[in-house]
Amino acid sequence: MREPSAQRAVRSAQVTAGLRTAHCVLRTVLIALVLLAATCKKKPPVTTNLAAQNQVAPRVVRLYFESAAMLLVSEQRNVQVPQNSAGALPAVVRELTKGATNPAFARVLPADTVIRGAYLLPDGTAFIDLGGTTLTQGWSAGSHEELMAIYSIVETVMANFAEVKKVRVLVNGMPAETLAGHIALDKPLTPMPSLLDPRAR
- Is pLDDT at 149 greater than 60 in this prediction? yes
Of 28-37, 81-90, 161-170, the least confident = 28-37
Q: Are residues 66 and 106 in contact, defined by beta-carbon separation less than 8 angstroms?
A: yes
Residue 49 phi/psi, 5° resolution? -85, 105
Residues 108 and 86 occupy one common structural domain: yes
User: Does residue 34 sit in the same domain as residue 67?
Assistant: no
Dist CA 77 CA 101 (whole Å): 9
pLDDT at 42: 44
Contact 189, 158 (CB under 8 A): no
The three-point CA angle 97-98-103 to 5° equals: 120
Q: How many CB atoms lie within 10 A of CB 153?
A: 25
pLDDT value of position 198:
85
Residues 6+ apart with CB under 8 A from 80: 56, 57, 58, 59, 91
Are residues 142 and 168 located together in one domain of the fold? yes
In this structure, the answer to whether residues 98 and 181 fall within a common structural domain is yes
Shared domain for 139 and 72, answered yes or no, is: yes
Same domain assignment for residues 31 and 105: no
pLDDT digits (tens, 9 = 90+) for 153-200: 999 999 999 999 999 999 999 999 999 999 999 999 999 999 999 865
**Of the candidates 70, 61, 76, which has an alpha carbon nearest to the alpha carbon of residue 151?**
70
Q: Identify whether residues 25 and 103 lie together within a single domain.
A: no
What does the alpha-carbon distance between residue 179 and residue 131 come to, in Å, rounded to a whole number?
Answer: 11
- Give yes or no: residues 27 and 74 share one domain: no
| In a shared domain, residues 65 and 6 | no
Question: What residues contact residue 154 under an 8 Å CB cut-off, 6+ apart?
Answer: 167, 189, 190, 191, 192
User: pLDDT tens digits, residue range 4-27?
Assistant: 555 554 455 454 555 455 444 445
Per the CB < 8 A criterion, the answer to whether 62 and 70 are in contact is no
The count of structural domains within the chain is 2
pLDDT of res. 14 = 54
If asked whether residues 108 and 22 sit together in one domain, one would say no
My answer on whether 32 and 113 are in the same domain is no
pTM of the model as a whole? 0.72
The whole domain housing 26 covers: 1-41
Identify whether residues 68 and 161 lie together within a single domain: yes
> CA-to-CA distance for 136 and 65, rounded, in angstroms?
22
